[in-house]
Amino acid sequence: MFAKEEIDQILDSYDDFTIATICSHSALQIFHGAKQYSIKTIGICTEESRELYESFPYATPDELLIVDDYSQIPVDELRERNSILVPHGSLVEYTGDGIKDLALPIFGNRGSLLFERDRNNMFDWMEKAGLKVPRILQPEEIDGPAIVKFPGAKGGKGYLVVNSPEEYYQKVAEGAKTMIQEFIVGVRAYIHYFHSFDGDAGYSTNYGNVEMLGIDQRMETNADEIARQLSVGANIPISFTVMGNQSLVLRESLLPKYMEMGRGICNSSKGLFGGIHGPFCVETIITDDLDIYSFEISARIVAGTNLLGNPYSLYTHGTEYTTGMRIAKELKDAFRNKNLGEIIY
Ligand code: ATP
């Protein structure tokens, strides 16, 4: 792992900073947010994506660094531009384990990104945070609908639902590395939080505050269109590939539980890998009995934050506010107060 002391030295050499990310996932939101705070932006972009990222004047980065593919992060060019890299889902997928040795300041804690890559770690974290989680099953224990997940975060692509050990062995290749979870039936809610080391909104944690900025629900094919499938008599296996997101508000009586969950996630992360800084999301399902099951934490900005028009950021910041803006504000404040090192690794 690239040493934290070296990252701090790089930060010390910055007399100003730029925000950089890969042109994908939530990049438009990140660039737009930085512009609201007059921070210069750098987009790491392929030639193929250039036209798109030049076509939104209020979210086009100030400079594009063109690469052949997104696994190549132009470290030297970014350091020359005093860049802080903002990780998002695509960046984490493209860089893979390489993120641990990246000789560049990364907003947040790279330890959290590495930790959550392993689903077993993530379940351990959720349990330590006091979250209720679906049962994890061995193939022989499948006693009802169970979702079978393969390694890597692929936006739900390729997952299966099986109902018995026999069906599992029939559909899953021998030796495949899978995690089998009890399939929870209920309403899905994906909560967007932001941990700030010196914010004044939200619930206090052991090392700052956790705010709620929004909630979304992912639109997944064909799970979310199953009624249409059934209405035409099509017999296609259920799938969960994410296609987009829509905004969600929850009954207000559920909010205290979710705020406590956000606090639990932050507090438990401190002992596990040094804490979480900036945006994160917990993916949940609320059952008929109002039990909240959590099945994933993403320790970075999630694509559901690309939505505007959710009331929770309004109540937190007094105006329509994106996670991209919140990231820019946190970095700008920390730069001004000379404590970027506390929220960057
Ligand atoms: P990403 O990392 O992009 O969030 P992923 O590939 O890790 O996605 P998950 O988020 O774990 O996948 O799951 C994809 C979808 O499958 C969820 O959004 C949800 O609709 C469904 N799902 C996952 N786990 C469960 C579960 N235990 N019970 C019911 N549905 C589930």
Specify whether 285 is located in the same domain as 143: no
| CA 294 to centroid of ligand 1, rounded, Å | 10
**Mean pLDDT (whole number) for 10-35:** 98
Ligand 1 pocket check for 283: Cβ under 6 Å: yes
Give the position, in ligand 1's atom list, of the atom nearest the Cα of 296: 11
CATH number of the domain encompassing residue 156: 3.30.1490
What does the pLDDT read at residue 309? 83
**Mean pLDDT (whole number) for 174-191:** 97
Token pair in block for residue 262 = 């956000």
**Mean pLDDT (whole number) for 264-275:** 97
Give the whole-angstrom CA distance, residue 295 versus residue 223: 17
Q: Tell me if 23 sits within 8 A of 44, measured CB to CB.
A: yes
Q: Residue 170 sits in which domain range?
A: 136-182
Specify whether 233 is located in the same domain as 334: yes
Ligand 1 pocket check for 134: Cβ under 6 Å: yes
Specify whether 67 is located in the same domain as 148: no
CATH number of the domain encompassing residue 264: 3.30.470.20
Q: Are strands 41-45 and 18-22 parallel, antiparallel or unpaired?
A: parallel
Ligand 1 pocket check for 326: Cβ under 6 Å: no
Ligand 1 pocket check for 296: Cβ under 6 Å: yes
Task: Name the residue with the closest Cα to ligand 1, atom 19.
Answer: 240
Specify whether 141 is located in the same domain as 205: no
Specify whether 174 is located in the same domain as 189: no
**Mean pLDDT (whole number) for 99-111:** 97
| CA 9 to centroid of ligand 1, rounded, Å | 39
Specify whether 126 is located in the same domain as 142: no
| CA 195 to centroid of ligand 1, rounded, Å | 23
Give the whole-angstrom CA distance, residue 162 versus residue 125: 26
Q: What is the pLDDT of residues 308-326, one digit of tens each?
A: 988 999 999 999 999 999 9
Ligand 1 pocket check for 183: Cβ under 6 Å: yes
Give the position, in ligand 1's atom list, of the atom nearest the Cα of 155: 3
Angle at CA of residue 150, ends 29 and 246, nearest 5°: 30
Q: Tell me the β-bridge partners of 246.
A: 217
Specify whether 49 is located in the same domain as 120: yes
Specify whether 221 is located in the same domain as 306: yes
Specify whether 115 is located in the same domain as 161: no
Three-state secondary structure call for residue 251 = coil
Going by pLDDT thresholds of 50, 70 and 90, the confidence category of residue 16 is very high
Give the position, in ligand 1's atom list, of the atom nearest the Cα of 154: 6
